[in-house]
Chain A
Amino acid sequence: MRLVATPSQTVGPFFSIGLDPLRAENLAAPGVTGERVTIHGRVLDGDSLPVPDAVLEIWQANAHGTYAHPEDQRDQKLESDFIGFGRVSTNDAGEFRFTTVKPGPVPGPGNKMQAPHLAVSVFMRGLLNRLVTRIYFPDEPANAQDFGLSLVEEARRATLIARRTSLANQLEWNVMLQGAGETVFFDC
């Protein structure tokens, strides 16, 4: 049996009605171990104007590199209250912010570990499909050997790596939909 898949459609401008009940700006309950980090940034369109109606979803492993999912069958630690799911929307200035723990490395192809990263979906009015991207961490030696980053031409890799700010444990990462600094989006 082969059924044709349901096409994606835009979330439209009023998604907060349906998606706010499961809004999750903090992915790490107090009992979850790991290095706390806040990631903030903006979503900008092709005119460099803020997108005030975008919603981002985060999917990540915990600090031990474990996904809270039955297909991660490695013998690793998993806190019972860790889901690894975040959902934040942008404000009128196109800004978003969430707090989490830095994930540990997770397996990639060829039995090599992937550098710590967050999987990100971006939805908004104007996009009939979600955009898929990743957030990597700065000053992370494993980035040099990472599977996902290695798929990307070197000049564009920086769009996937959050930047340090003057505040400890606060990183900045922006979503540039178009233009010279266009964020790398994946065919996932």
Chain B
Amino acid sequence: MSASPTRTDANPPQIVGYRRPAPGAQPNYLHPAYVSSIKRAPTKPLIFLPHTLSEITGPTFKKDVISAKALDLTKQGRGEALGERIIVSGRVLDEHGRAAPHTLIEIWQANAAGRYLHKWDQHDAPLDPNFTGVGQAFTDDEGHYRFLTVRPGAYPWKNHRNAWRPAHIHFSIFGPAFATRLVTQMYFPGDPLLKSDPIFNGTADEEARNRLVSIFDWDTTVPETALGFKFDIVLRGRDATPMET
């Protein structure tokens, strides 16, 4: 990752920025149904920032920042993690369908009982001494990634009366640039809690929202071992033309 192409003294290339989302395709900051957004969402309009070299570049990481253990969340302790083993895999792509190779993915999740290994998680559900809930992976040449983990449990939260988060896995993805940085959550197909979850429903556009729901997949289901769920992640693509400056 440290090798750079030959640098030249030629005229600097024109900047090709990243596409802006269509209205409703990304959540708003203020989403009153998600109560914590009320005191945290900015109140003044954002200022449009045309992309410069600062936004079309972004961090790259060496392969050794993650350990082999980070791909298999079921075997990070002395014994196996409790719960229903699942394989979560997919590709990281851009809006043009081009792979995002060698990019870092970080995931974190509750255990099968719906409890996070975190001092602030007060949910009365058992911790699993063999489950940390943290995983990391790099995508391969074609943008593929794969984790072995356990299906996280749903858990209550205090957003509204009898509020329960649908089962989800948090995903952090860098992509090729500062502009493509994405933190999101993966949900499970058919979860009855999705329709009342203000976080999931914070994105108005249904097609975009449904990107967040993984697909049960026979092809990656391993006999006698684990169910497969496919979760492709689509990052912003490049604009077709260089920025007018």
A interface vs B, CB < 8 Å? 1-19, 21-22, 45-47, 49, 51, 53, 57, 59, 61, 67-76, 78, 80, 83-85, 106-111, 114, 117, 119, 121, 123-132, 147-148, 151-152, 177-179, 182-188
Contact = CB atoms under 8 A, between A and B. Distances in A.
**Most A-side CB within 10 Å, residue of B54, B136, B234, B236:** B54
A83 B245 CA distance: 28
7 contacts: A9-B170, A17-B116, A22-B106, A74-B7, A75-B7, A178-B39, A186-B48
A6 B52 contact: no
Question: Is chain B's interface secondary structure helix, strand, loop, or mixed overall?
Answer: loop
Interface residues of B, number: 93
A148 to B, nearest CB: 7
A82 to B, nearest CB: 10
Contacts of A123: 183
A35 to B, nearest CB: 19
Contacts of B134: 17-18, 21
A84 B116 CA distance: 31
Interface of B: 2, 4-9, 12-13, 15, 19-21, 25-29, 31, 34, 36-44, 46-61, 65-66, 93-97, 104, 106-108, 116-118, 120-121, 132-136, 170, 172, 177-179, 181-185, 199-200, 202-203, 205, 207-209, 211-212, 233-237, 243, 245
A175 to B, nearest CB: 10
A184 B42 CA distance: 9
B40 A126 contact: yes
B7 A109 contact: no
Contacts of A16: 118
Contact of A73 (B7, B42, B183, B243): B7
B37 to A, nearest CB: 5
Output the residue of A1, A13, A17, A47 with the most chain B CB within 10 A.
A17
A13 B170 contact: no
Contacts of B49: 132, 148, 151, 186-188
